Structure 1
Amino acid sequence: METAEPPQLIALDVDGTLMATGEQISARVRDAVRAAVAAGAHVVITTGRTLLATRMVVEELGLGAGRALCSNGAVHVDISNWEPLSVHTFDPEPAVAVLRTLFPDMVLSVEKVGIGTWTTGYYPGSFRLGEFRFVDDHQLSLEPTTRLNGWWPGGTLTDMVEVMAEQNLPGAGWVHGEHEPWLVASKLGVTKGWALEQLRRELGIPPEVTLAMGDGYNDREMLAWAGHSVAMGNAVDPVLELADEITADVGEDGVAVVLERWFHN
């Protein structure tokens, strides 16, 4: 993407991109995002977070209109009223059975869109947003879900990836975390990149004026989709290798470094 042509559709990951996990968004990044919106760009928060957790970020940015893609693209929401525009679910029961066989002590949880989380136990960073209900595997699997999370307290990320290498989860695709033994399963074929392409077509925006920034394994399809892809300086190696450009670390306001080429307060 030439710097002379501003992007019209901007997809931004949250954790590790807009802000370090558990931190606040810096004033510089917040101002750059607002300047892009004020200039007429469609800024789309595109995250693995649930709808409720995404809402916190959007409110911190001060955005009152537009779209967000939550749960790795499984939930498309209008941020003016936080009503889902589309929700893509799968039956978690077969995947739960596979994961429980492979990892007997894995903590499993599912999103209840706009309501909260059902989980078999505590996991690091447990979000107490909305309803937080402890259930067994059977209760966890009663309804279709947008995302099934797994946290393996008994092992490492390397070991988890090795165990999962030859495994398929029925009806679902999955992606693992950056540093800890996490995995997130979504409906097969649903990714950030897939959801962004649906939105791009709806908005009638040319592919060449799309921009995406991210840092994690769940950002790969999004960066492959974008007309211009940017990896954060702190991104995992596959993202660094995939991106058209590498910006500064999240702690050095890498998102603002890129957006400020076109957008200023």
Structure 2
Amino acid sequence: MAVLGGGPRLIALDVDGTLLQTGYPVSERVADAVRAAVAAGVHVVVTTGRTLLTTRPVLIELGLVEGHALCSNGAVHVDIAKGEPVAVHAFDPAPAVKALRNLFPEMIFAVEKVGIGTWATGASPGEFSIGEYLLVDHGALSSEPTPRLNGWWPAGTLDEMLRLLRCLRMPGASWVHGEFGPWLTVSRQGVTKGWALERLRAALGIPHAATLAIGDGYNDREMLRWAGYSVAMANAPGPILRLADEVTGDVAADGVATVLERWFA
């Protein structure tokens, strides 16, 4: 912890599995710890795979009314005060959809329409009912650039999906898989949480050594590598636990608050 000296000046926080249990509100203790950090002048940056629309309720729960949020794994940079994106890093999803359909003919796809909702080729588990949810065919789904393409393979398992993905080639795009089932998220090549946080850190003029990141998923890998000090939740998978400088309590035990309360009471 000595690397952070008197405390972090930029804190990146994942949402699901970190700030909250999916489907549940942020706990009062975690919200209080985040608000105390903000009151101390720290840049608290919610950094999530969620869309802009599904991130907004979390920002409200935390009482964040200004500053920055990074959604869609860093592809959408949001000005919280305006409630609007200031940067969207989109890509053409058509080549990725074609390549994935060749590997997984039954895969269900969904693309983000920033600030509007989702276009999808079918229903998949865990979808949030915020914004428009429009069922479309593969041609319509692939017709416009998007910051995020999700794929869910209802007939398969995560292990089998990962085995088949070893031969996947998607020029101009990169992907990350989930922890609990056969789904993946595709973004523009090189766009990750860590990439977006480094751009923001440089713009704010904050020393790298004064950055802290807390996360639990495979999409947090680059964010944890980026941070001056990285913390994984106890509920994270093994590779993420081994990557972090520290492991805190799991999300049900308010692990984020346990870390932040060292500086912000």
- Corresponding residue of 1:188: 189
In the alignment, the residues of structure 2 paired with residue 236 and residue 191 of structure 1 have an alpha-carbon distance, to the nearest angstrom, of 19
- Corresponding residue of 1:115: 116
1:55 pairs with 2:70: no
- Matches for 1:35-50 after TM superposition, within 5 Å: 35-50=36-51
- 2:71 maps to amino acid: C
- 2:20 maps to amino acid: M
In the alignment, the residues of structure 2 paired with residue 188 and residue 236 of structure 1 have an alpha-carbon distance, to the nearest angstrom, of 24
In the alignment, the residues of structure 2 paired with residue 20 and residue 130 of structure 1 have an alpha-carbon distance, to the nearest angstrom, of 21
- Corresponding residue of 1:7: 8
- Corresponding residue of 2:221: 220
In the alignment, the residues of structure 2 paired with residue 63 and residue 157 of structure 1 have an alpha-carbon distance, to the nearest angstrom, of 35
- Matches for 1:122-141 after TM superposition, within 5 Å: 122-141=123-142
Per the TM alignment, residue 252 of structure 1 is displaced from its structure 2 partner at its CA by: 0.3
Per the TM alignment, residue 128 of structure 1 is displaced from its structure 2 partner at its CA by: 2.0
Give runs of ≥4 in structure 1 deviating > 4 Å.
Answer: none
Per the TM alignment, residue 131 of structure 1 is displaced from its structure 2 partner at its CA by: 1.1
In the alignment, the residues of structure 2 paired with residue 210 and residue 225 of structure 1 have an alpha-carbon distance, to the nearest angstrom, of 9
- 2:133 maps to amino acid: F
- Corresponding residue of 2:71: 70
In the alignment, the residues of structure 1 paired with residue 169 and residue 186 of structure 2 have an alpha-carbon distance, to the nearest angstrom, of 11
Per the TM alignment, residue 75 of structure 1 is displaced from its structure 2 partner at its CA by: 0.3
Give me the TM-score of the superposition, normalised by structure 1: 0.98
In the alignment, the residues of structure 2 paired with residue 233 and residue 83 of structure 1 have an alpha-carbon distance, to the nearest angstrom, of 33
- 1:95 maps to amino acid: A
Per the TM alignment, residue 166 of structure 1 is displaced from its structure 2 partner at its CA by: 2.0
Aligned length: 264
- Matches for 1:93-104 after TM superposition, within 5 Å: 93-104=94-105
- 1:81 maps to amino acid: K
- Corresponding residue of 1:236: 237
Cα distance change on mapping 1:46 and 1:252 into 2, 3 Å: same
In the alignment, the residues of structure 2 paired with residue 182 and residue 56 of structure 1 have an alpha-carbon distance, to the nearest angstrom, of 24
- Matches for 1:74-85 after TM superposition, within 5 Å: 74-85=75-86
Secondary structure class of the residue paired with 1:198: helix
Secondary structure class of the residue paired with 2:96: helix
- 2:56 maps to amino acid: R
Secondary structure class of the residue paired with 1:18: coil
In the alignment, the residues of structure 2 paired with residue 118 and residue 87 of structure 1 have an alpha-carbon distance, to the nearest angstrom, of 17
In the alignment, the residues of structure 2 paired with residue 166 and residue 227 of structure 1 have an alpha-carbon distance, to the nearest angstrom, of 34
Answer with 165-174 or 151-160: which moved more.
165-174
Answer with 218-227 or 165-174: which moved more.
165-174
In the alignment, the residues of structure 2 paired with residue 109 and residue 100 of structure 1 have an alpha-carbon distance, to the nearest angstrom, of 13
Structure 1: runs of 5+ lacking an equivalent: none
Per the TM alignment, residue 52 of structure 1 is displaced from its structure 2 partner at its CA by: 0.4
Answer with 158-167 or 212-221: which moved more.
158-167
- Matches for 1:20-31 after TM superposition, within 5 Å: 20-31=21-32
- Corresponding residue of 2:87: 86
- 1:173 maps to amino acid: S
Answer with 59-68 or 223-232: which moved more.
59-68
- 1:41 maps to amino acid: V
In the alignment, the residues of structure 2 paired with residue 183 and residue 168 of structure 1 have an alpha-carbon distance, to the nearest angstrom, of 14
Per the TM alignment, residue 224 of structure 1 is displaced from its structure 2 partner at its CA by: 0.3
In the alignment, the residues of structure 1 paired with residue 17 and residue 142 of structure 2 have an alpha-carbon distance, to the nearest angstrom, of 31
Secondary structure class of the residue paired with 2:46: strand
1:251 pairs with 2:249: no
- 1:144 maps to amino acid: P
In the alignment, the residues of structure 2 paired with residue 100 and residue 181 of structure 1 have an alpha-carbon distance, to the nearest angstrom, of 14
In the alignment, the residues of structure 1 paired with residue 204 and residue 21 of structure 2 have an alpha-carbon distance, to the nearest angstrom, of 30
In the alignment, the residues of structure 1 paired with residue 140 and residue 89 of structure 2 have an alpha-carbon distance, to the nearest angstrom, of 20
